Amino acid sequence: MIAFDTARHALGVAQMDATHREFAILAAELAAADDARFPALYAELLAHTRAHFAAEDAQMRASRFPAIGEHSNEHQRVLGELTAFNRGVQAGRLQLARAYARESLPGWFDLHLATMDAALAAHLKRVGTTA
């Protein structure tokens, strides 16, 4: 399960840290949800992730982040996976989406924050756009 650990996940950019904390809370709730709550929580996580990635993509464009291509492509890949699993969730097939939430998202979250988001945060601090 995903748990936001300030020592490990905080990047020192308030907006990013708040969004990542919200993502972690939603993902943990989703992983623990019963079948009745799972579809609504999945839809909430998907909507949150779309907004989260759109905000980061806008920050990258506005600050002229050099690695925008790789970072944006990763956002699109994960959104594609979430969207594909959502079709099953909406049809009442929860097993694959539940496994994805429990087994794939936590590792992806840790790696993405430690690499791509850490690089973006360092860039935003360097160019002075951390608001």
**Domains of the chain by residue range:** 6-126
CA 123 to chain centre: 19
Instruction: Retrieve residue 74's tokens.
Output: 């990763």
What phi and psi, each to the nearest 5 degrees, are found at residue 3? -140, 125
User: In this predicted model, what pLDDT tens digit does every residue of 39-57 receive, in sequence order?
Assistant: 999 999 999 999 999 999 9
CB 94 within 8 A of CB 33: no
Q: Which residues of the chain have pLDDT under 50?
A: none
So what's the pLDDT on residue 128?
84
Q: What is the 3-state secondary structure (H, E, C) of 61-94?
A: HHHCCCCHHHHHHHHHHHHHHHHHHHHHHHCCCC
- Level-2 CATH architecture, domain 6-126: Up-down Bundle (1.20)
